[in-house]
Amino acid sequence: MSYSPKEIENKWQTKWSEQEAFEPKDDKSLKKKYILSMFPFPSGRLHMGHVRNYSIGDAMARYYRKQNYNVLHPIGWDAFGMPAENAAIKHGRHPKDWTYSNIAYMRKELKTLGLSFSETREFATCDELYTKWEQEFIIKMFEEKLLYRESTTVNWCEECHTVLANEQVEEGCCWRCDNEVELKEMPGYYLDIRKYADELLEDLKLLEGKWPSQVLAMQSNWIGKSQGLEFAFKLSDASKEKLGNKFEGFEVFTTRPDTIYGVTYTALAPEHPIVKELIKNELLDAEVIEKITAISNMTEVERAKAGKEGFDLGIMVIHPLTNEEIPVWMANFVLASYGGGAVMSVPTHDERDFEFATQYNLPLKYVISGDLESEASAPNKAYTGEGTLINSQEFNGMKNSEAKAKIIEEFEEKNLGKGTTNYKLRNWGISRQRYWGAPIPFVHCESCGLVPEKVENLPIALPEDVEITGEGNPLENHPTWSTCACPKCGSDAKRETDTLDTFVQSSWYQFRYATDPKKWNECGIDKDDVNYWLGVDQYIGGIEHAILHLLYARFFTKALRDVGFIEDLKEPFENLLTQGMVLMDGAKMSKSKGNTVDPDALIEKYGADTARLFTLFAAPPQKELEWNDSAVEGAFRFIKKLYDRRSKVGSNELPSIDHASLSKEEKLARAKVYEALQKSVDVYEKTFAFNTLIAACMEALNALDKQENEQVWTEGLYIITHLLEPIIPHVCTELSEELFASKNLAGKIAILEEVFVQDSITLGVAVNGKRRAEIEVDAGASKEEIIAMAKESIAKWLEGKNVVKEILVPNKMVNLVVK
């Protein structure tokens, strides 16, 4: 009978499901592995990226299951989010209906891939039961002051009609729709991720060697820790008066306290309260006010593109050490969101300050001498290197690296300022003005203010009777939903209509999977279960989540720990593999480019095993995968060949073979088989270079084909189907059942060292490091014999020369150094 993937795959998928073959066991004394692929958004259909992601995870899960580990390998649905609402607008379908029917379809698709997921632990994040527990966490975080509501400038996407977190803005545009993001002042809920900035940064060290260095670097940059001096500039008396005595001065932050004597002006962001006050009281020219207002309405990206622009604000501050009066400017490059929105400017030693000072003719004062001569001759740029302090009173002559600490000390002693740490990371804005999300469980009461909902009333579920038009927030527009009683005083109140960012759901799903589904009604996260299963031993997903999801989930883990929902756990994802993209003609597969391959069609034509084999064979998982139709054919051919060779098997046991009595070809075949077996441990547990393991199995099969010994064939297929079962499970399980009564799929197979002993060995012979010949020597040949043979083989290279050194690399080569 020829290879019929459909028949075999149906048979085993049905069996696995009936036998509940992939459910983790309750016994916590077993050694465990938690293998997690990032869960999909139920967009409607699987794409090749999913196939790749889940093929990688499934290979690992099946490997460890076979090694008798208790394996948790779950799947679920990241089900809230904008596309559901867009579908509603476009096709008039309710987001809930759209989402759950997509899930039903994609669940079937996953099944046809033969993935070994737990079926009892599946959930969708839009399930009300999931929302319920998430709302409880949110309320607890509010009570513990990790969550707050405030009105501030936010990133607004008009297209998506919602606020975006800082992480969700890419080059000034919305991460989802690419629309340009606007700035808008509005209230919203924030999680205090900044409180964890240092811990998030420090704990990256725990992940070194376990996460890709690129992801670690990206997170570290994103957190953006810098150390320096924070101090206040006091306004001059005249300036203070000008501002109606409302301000004493303003705080600035610098990482270069060593250049403090070089300050020749200061600059404020257009949003700075002092600038606002000047505008409010019309203390600036009408034209200037107009221009500053225009800058305030620009996004950061627009400001950066526009070039430097600034205005003298007509006020002065006092230098804290020299007591000189220094002018205050507004500058468009000063960020309101960092370092208090104000800077001290040292044009001689900071490139931006230099550019600005040159543009507006502001004075320069050198305070660090690096290379004095070139400075004098070409003061056309800032000197940002190391050097010695000059023009800096008692600090003159000090190395600038040393002066940093000394000057901070000076400020601290005189009570003028203090050493401090700043982060680029901003707090996580989690409000979304959209319908298809988890409602934020708070109530606005006129007398009590912001009040969290009572936990016993959770979940606060979404109303189903909504009109989704794309205009405004459907919850806001709902006639009755937001009307409620205040949980505290009982008077009429209004329910919060913002919903939670979908990244909140994906920040704790790894704990939900770990929680025994029998407890899902009683708690969101079970501590004991989490203690047993977490951290995730291997997490697999796309690099695009390097900052967003992976940073949020790390933070949420620490926050959940601190508010008491999980016990001591530093990091949720112990090891991370970021898989490469699937490409077609060098470009990422995408519907809009029309260069996609439909997994359903692929499976229909070749079967799931071929799809999986190609995916894992064509490139190592970390690299990009270039699609190639004829290579898919090649994968199919290999499986057919493997299936066809089952007629060579003579018994259902691993035979015991008298190795010494075998022919050369038979010995070689055995060696190839065992080489693959030897390689498999490293591949499955460390390198994940499945492509090399598959290649080794192909080599083994090629070698087996060159001999006819039935015992060698039996042993070979016993081991090859054992090795490939995690990758092409259907055909291997089928062969294993038919040929070996499934014995080769339980436990380990021992490596027999004897098979690596060959009758003869082929050695390369090099002269002065250049390969010149090849010799075949007896396995037991002595060094002298080998060298003698080597010399003979390259006799023509030795004419008239002397061998000065003989190097024998056992089993590899001989190198003769001649003169």
Partner RNA sequence: GCGGAUGUGGUGAAAUUGGUAUACACGCCAGACUUAGGAUCUGGUGCUUUACGGCGUGGAGGUUCGAGUCCUCUCAUCCGCACCA
Q: At 181, which amino acid appears?
A: V
Q: How far is the CB of 355 from RNA (least distance, A)?
A: 7
For residue 702, state whether it binds RNA (rule: CB under 7 A).
yes
Order of strands, sheet of 442-445, starting from the edge strand that comes earlier in the sequence: 449-452, 442-445, 492-495, 483-485
**Rounded distance between C-alpha atoms, residue 763 and residue 49, angstroms:** 44
Q: How far is the CB of 279 from RNA (least distance, A)?
A: 19
Residues 524-563 that bind RNA (CB under 7 A): 543, 546-547
For residue 273, state whether it binds RNA (rule: CB under 7 A).
no
Residues 316-335 that bind RNA (CB under 7 A): 332-335
749 three-class SS: coil
For residue 421, state whether it binds RNA (rule: CB under 7 A).
no
Residues 194-213 that bind RNA (CB under 7 A): 213
780 three-class SS: coil
Q: Where are the alpha helices (DSSP H) in 394-473?
A: 400-413
Q: How far is the CB of 478 from RNA (least distance, A)?
A: 35
For residue 93, state whether it binds RNA (rule: CB under 7 A).
no
Q: Out of 303, 545, 554, 670, point to the residue binding RNA (CB under 7 A).
A: 303
N residues, the chain: 819
**Rounded distance between C-alpha atoms, residue 399 and residue 389, angstroms:** 6
For residue 695, state whether it binds RNA (rule: CB under 7 A).
yes
For residue 518, CA distances in Å to 20, 36, 560, 719 come to 16, 20, 22, 39
Q: How far is the CB of 171 from RNA (least distance, A)?
A: 6
**Rounded distance between C-alpha atoms, residue 570 and residue 135, angstroms:** 23
For residue 693, state whether it binds RNA (rule: CB under 7 A).
no
For residue 590, state whether it binds RNA (rule: CB under 7 A).
no
Q: 175 and 491 in contact (C-beta within 8 Å)?
A: no
Q: Strands of 565-680 (E only): list them.
A: 576-579, 582-584, 587-588, 625-626
Q: What helix, strand, coil percent values describe the chain, rounded to 5?
A: 45, 20, 35
Q: 254 and 343 in contact (C-beta within 8 Å)?
A: yes
Q: Out of 65, 132, 240, 256, point to the residue binding RNA (CB under 7 A).
A: 256
For residue 306, state whether it binds RNA (rule: CB under 7 A).
yes
For residue 350, state whether it binds RNA (rule: CB under 7 A).
yes
The pair of three-digit structure tokens given for residue 792, joined into one six-digit string:
């003979």
CB-nearer residue toward RNA: 68 or 293: 293
**Rounded distance between C-alpha atoms, residue 344 and residue 260, angstroms:** 8
Binding mask 749-768 for RNA (x = CB under 7 A): -------------xxx-x-x
The pair of three-digit structure tokens given for residue 99, joined into one six-digit string:
């989402």
Q: How far is the CB of 701 from RNA (least distance, A)?
A: 8
Q: How far is the CB of 668 from RNA (least distance, A)?
A: 12
Binding mask 636-675 for RNA (x = CB under 7 A): -xx--x----------------------------------
Q: Out of 86, 264, 422, 579, point to the residue binding RNA (CB under 7 A).
A: 422
CB-nearer residue toward RNA: 228 or 439: 228
What's the chain's Rg over C-alpha atoms?
A: 34
Q: How far is the CB of 600 from RNA (least distance, A)?
A: 20
Q: Which residue has the tokens 């001649």?
A: 818
Stretches 87-95, 400-408, 529-537, 690-698: which one binds RNA (CB under 7 A)? 690-698
814 three-class SS: strand
Strand partners, 449: 445
Backbone phi and psi for residue 647, each to the nearest 5 degrees, phi listed first: -70, -15
Q: How far is the CB of 578 from RNA (least distance, A)?
A: 10
Residues 211-230 that bind RNA (CB under 7 A): 213-214, 217-218, 221-222, 224, 226, 228
CB-nearer residue toward RNA: 109 or 699: 699
Q: How far is the CB of 638 from RNA (least distance, A)?
A: 6
Residues 775-814 that bind RNA (CB under 7 A): 805, 807, 809, 812-813
